[in-house]
Structure 1
Amino acid sequence: MGKVLEGKVAIVTGSGQGVGRALALKFASEGACVITNNRGKGQTETKQLTPEEIATLSPEERKKVADRYAMLAGNAETTANQIIAEGGKAAPFYCDIGNHEAAKELVEFAVKTYGKVDIVANVAGAFGFGSICDIDEETWDRVTTVKPKGYYNVIHFAAPYMMEQKWGRIINCTSRAWLGDWILHPEYCTANAGVVGLTRAVAIELFPYNITCNAFSPFAATRASIDLEASNLVKSDRKKAMAGLPNFTYEQTPAPETIAPFLTYLCTDKASQVSGSVFSIVGNSIARYSEPVEIAKITKFSSELWTQEELEQAAPRGLFGGYTSLADPGNVH
């Protein structure tokens, strides 16, 4: 079997480390010319824990965290260099995709360097810890400026090139946080729900141009995984519950490389009819989320508005039969 992305040009945001780096390497191994990207050099330190919190860890714990960060050290340039060393084609471009003009320059760099844009894989992200009462405005803005705004920025400038050539593939990284269940970070849930909405809207608009747009929710060992586990060590039980941590250690978490094969498949002609979907990828397990549908409905066949008395009678029977709230602890999964 030949290289399935031969002759394609891909932009992979957030490809200095983790899932983005793994995806950039996979794309290149399949023949694509890759523009690697992240905000800048040295983006490997924790953004979630203060020096005071880090100091509460034991010497062994601090060393473990530091060693893991060192293993994940990298940026757009180191990823591009690895691709080139392995015989592929790549060029790095540093920018914050949350900046509209910077995203434009990223896309223009791809076109100037390789002549076109075929694939956009948005993997860049930001994270923060905090309940709705604790989270500050800076954290909210930092997280939501990357997702979904940064993703919109890159797609906005890349889409016209794809439309002109009647071919394109767009992949956006979301998280199961878009469901808003056990990942109790309002800024992160909002950002990733926005990615899903953006993905679906773009898929519908661009499908006539042979352009697909899908989202994926990865579970893989990344810098965020280290932040989560380190936070688990330093926070109180209440904070740990708010962090919504899954019962997996860093060692049990699948490697970022496990995410790349299916996403590469989505970028081929074989997946030309797959668009507007959200996938979950955990190791070699790949799942597709169902489409949201109405499951219960009540209607008043009258020009008069519902009265409170009527709703008290109709709603429990027509809307809430067998209902359990998402907020019910027994319904969290």
Structure 2
Amino acid sequence: MSGLLQGKVAIVTGSGQGIGRDVAVCLAEHGAKVITNNRKPGSSLDAFEKTEIPFTDEERAALESVKGDAKTTADRIVAAGGEAVPFFGDVGDFASAGRMVQTAIDSFGRIDIIVNNASSNWVGNIADMDEELWDISVVSKLKGAFNLIHHALPHMKAQGYGRILNSSSDAFLGLQGYAAYGAANAGIVALTKAAAGDLRGTGITVNAYTPLAKTRAWYNAAATYRMQGVPAEMIEAGAPEAMKRTAEGMVPFLAYLASDDAAAISGNLFKLAADGEIGLWSQPEVVRQITTDADAWAIDVLRERVPGELMAGLSNDEGILPVR
């Protein structure tokens, strides 16, 4: 393809399969040398941690067709004429993240691009969540992003160039059943905006994106709905169009953000969908307020004005939202 990223070196975490694999392959196609990554050789059919789904033969075959690990992705890049080195290790572990960055330096002499794509997820009611289930989502996604940023920044600052791309999710809005995962992804948005400000003027940009495409998680979600008695045609009809397509067509936008051309773009949250949509999320803003001239709010005034003005016409009943 193009030489857009010629001479650049990238790390893509969680790039053994799914969107991460497509990102790694795309960056390589545009000239980047890539460190591919997942926790250990091989992969599981289960997208949701601590959750076992009895897949049908058809579902199992579909999942087998999309599974892979850091080595299979690196092999694919090399077979196409690119350069890639696999790294097996958990980015949620601080020392492991440091070794991943050092692998890029030892293999290719520099690190220019990091794509914090890795994540783990447990889906369920917060009343059933314990510390381990919380950590499954928060450590891999949020701490993992910090770990890699921390270890890569000294090299990026020394060379005056860096592109940090953080994968978030629309779960940051607070989707039912995704308390920990949503919190981790909301943290990614805040981390991105704060880091972009901290690094302004250094040649390093930081952006985040919420991807939506057909991945292993979609197959797991469809199997879960099937187990709940939802007909296959209803599952297909209810899925967003982007979840019916794989990610190859949407990831070139990330290659663009990683390039010299995007030097002025930092601190943003983008929506990225496999059906062709690229969007820019709005900045949060106060949409309604009440004020008082008194020194302190009186409870009887709040009882009247909160439901009558501040919360008028609003409902907290959002219903059950689909598995992402």
| Structure 2: gaps of 5 or more residues | none
Contact 2:213–2:244 (8 Å) recurs in 1? yes
Provide the C-alpha distance between the structure 1 equivalents of 2:321 and 2:281, rounded to a whole number of angstroms. Answer: 17
SS in 2 for 1:152: helix
Amino acid corresponding to residue 281 of structure 2 in structure 1: Y
Question: In the alignment, which residue of structure 2 is the partner of 1:275?
Answer: 266
TM-score normalized with structure 2 length: 0.89
What does 1:98-117 correspond to in 2, within 5 Å? 98-117=92-111
> How far apart are 1:52 and its partner, in Å?
7.3
Distance 1:38 1:51, change over 3 A: closer
Q: Secondary structure at the match of 2:10?
A: strand
Query: Gapped runs of 5+ residues in structure 1?
Result: 238-243
Aligned positions of 1:84-163 closer than 5 A: 84-163=78-157
Give the aligned partner of residue 11 of structure 1. 11
Contact conserved, 2:165 with 2:206, CA < 8 A, in 1? yes
- Quick one: structure 1 residues 144 and 245, their matched pair in 2 at CA, closer, same or farther if it must change by over 3 Å? farther
Contact kept, 8 Å, 1:324 with 1:331, in 2: the verdict is no
Counterpart CA distance in 1 for 2:110 and 2:222 is: 41
Cα distance in 2 for residues equivalent to 1:235 and 1:163: 51
Shift, 1:278, TM fit:
1.2
- 2:324 is aligned with 1:328: no
Is the 1:128–1:185 Cα contact (8 Å) retained in structure 2?
A: yes
Aligned partner of 1:267: which letter?
A
Q: Using a 3 Å threshold, how does the CA distance of structure 1 residues 329 and 217 change in structure 2: closer, same or farther?
A: same
| Cross-structure match for 1:185 | 178
| Most deviating of 247-256 and 293-302 | 247-256
User: 1:257 is matched by which residue type in structure 2?
Assistant: E
The farther-off stretch of 94-103 and 199-208 is 199-208
Mapping 1:1-333, distance limit 5 Å: 2-46=2-46, 48=48, 53-54=53-54, 62-181=56-175, 183-235=176-228, 247-248=238-239, 253-283=244-274, 284-302=276-294, 304-316=295-307, 319-321=310-312, 323-325=313-315, 327-329=316-318
8 Å CA contact 2:213, 2:243 repeated in 1: no
Post-superposition offset of 1:36? 0.5
Aligned residues with identical type, % of pairs = 38
Per-residue CA deviations over 1:159-208 (Å, capped at 9, x if unaligned) read 12111211111111111100114x53212111111111111111111122
2:51 and 2:296 map into 1 onto residues whose CA distance is: 58
Quick check: 2:47–2:216 contact (8 Å CA) kept in 1? no
Q: Conserved in 2, the CA contact under 8 Å of 1:127 and 1:224? A: no
